[in-house]
A = this chain, B = another copy of it.
Amino acid sequence: MNKMENREREAGGRLFTVLEEDGATRARLGVLRLGHGDVLTPVFMPVGTNAAVKAVSHRDLEEIGFDLILGNTYHVYLRPGLDVIRGFGGLHGFSSWNRNILTDSGGFQVFSLAPFRKIREEGVSFRSHIDGSSHLFTPEAVVEAQHVLGSDIMMPLDVCTPPGITRGEALSALETTTAWARRSKKTWLGLGPGAGKLFGIIQGNFFEDLRGRSAQEILELDLPGIAIGGLSVGESPDAFRGLLAGTARMLPKEKPRYVMGIGTPGYILDAVENGIDMFDCVFPTRIARNGCLFTGTGRLVLKRAENHGADLPPDPGCGCPVCKRYSIGYLRHLFKAGEILGPMLATYHNLYYMKSFLDKVRESIKNHSFAGFKKDFLSAQSGER
């Protein structure tokens, strides 16, 4: 038994254990002990909006090796509805996924998708983007909904704000977020020991002092994990890095740290460097459906004319069944012809790429060489083709 396995065993019933630290950076390798198995961190979570990761089967997700995926509470609450999912004993039974699921609170979707919304102290009322029907999300209802979903990790309802608002607006959103987090915790404590783990979410928009205040208030609740919300919402990379570093430094070392909504290798490297353990984003699967593939030398845009008829694998360094079997020219043809197989194969590749990328990130942390890995990775990315 090696050192890492020993440490894992010692971790016992704890949710999260740091197994190794990079040393030169704040990057760390850890393990999450969840209801449906262990998850090594840093981890990228594919997004399964409608109880399905778009264009990829659960069998393929298992084959790639994902053991934690994200589900959107807002979407499955609206369709098929909690009653249907309750009838299957939760999202795992409904979607036949026997590994871990993290669900978000639906807050971000209410603020980005619903055609109408109104925040009150009680919660947020909104109309469905599907049929216009009226709904109310309260912190209590959202925790209970995620309990019905059987989520392994659940998130509290928060107020998401875009960049460019006033300090007063940001403060008001922060205060509501803290008050809702307290109510969420109370409901969560009432669920009993079998419930998923509730994380706290730090907000504060792009005001450093408000980030500090939010962190302090959320950390006081001593929830099992901490998320940094409100980043990657259109701000500059420098603004992202600055606030990420500042907020991450305030977080206790022993808890898992999750930055919501990031999914490019570059952003993930920045986050890992700052000691972040978990990430999710639709980006890898969304660009796949538009014919854009991650590769070791930069993004490959299949529809570009120069890729017509190209008899080369998409990424010669990739071991996925798509790169081993198909050529750039054939994949381009599938997208030009509007064949569903194009998005299917591109999605498989991009998810395999992300999984493999995080495997390498963890390996570099284990070898105390994360900074060198990051530098080498970025310098090999020579632009789009």
Taken together as a complex, chains A and B put the C-alpha atoms of A56 and B79 apart, in Å, by 26
Could you tell me if A87 and B309 are in contact, using CB atoms closer than 8 angstroms? yes
A256 located at the interface, meaning its Cβ lies under 8 Å from any Cβ of chain B in the complex: no
Within 8 A of B (CB), among A48-70: 50-59
Taken together as a complex, chains A and B put the C-alpha atoms of A333 and B82 apart, in Å, by 13
| Number of copies of this chain that the complex holds | 2
- Which size class do A's interface residues fall under? 35 or more
Find chain B residues with CB under 8 A from A87 CB.
309, 311, 329
Closest partner residue, chain B, to A87 (CB atom) = B309
Taken together as a complex, chains A and B put the C-alpha atoms of A334 and B51 apart, in Å, by 8
Could you tell me if B340 and A340 are in contact, using CB atoms closer than 8 angstroms? yes
Contacts beyond the supplied A50-B339, A56-B341, A57-B341: 16 A-B pairs with Cβ under 8 Å: A50-B333, A51-B330, A51-B333, A51-B337, A52-B334, A52-B339, A53-B341, A54-B341, A55-B340, A55-B341, A57-B345, A58-B325, A88-B311, A88-B329, A94-B327, A96-B327
Query: What are 24 A-B contacts defined by CB distance under 8 Å?
Result: A50-B337, A50-B339, A51-B333, A52-B334, A53-B341, A54-B340, A56-B341, A57-B344, A59-B321, A79-B333, A79-B336, A79-B337, A80-B308, A80-B336, A83-B309, A84-B309, A87-B309, A87-B311, A96-B325, A96-B326, A96-B330, A340-B340, A340-B343, A340-B344
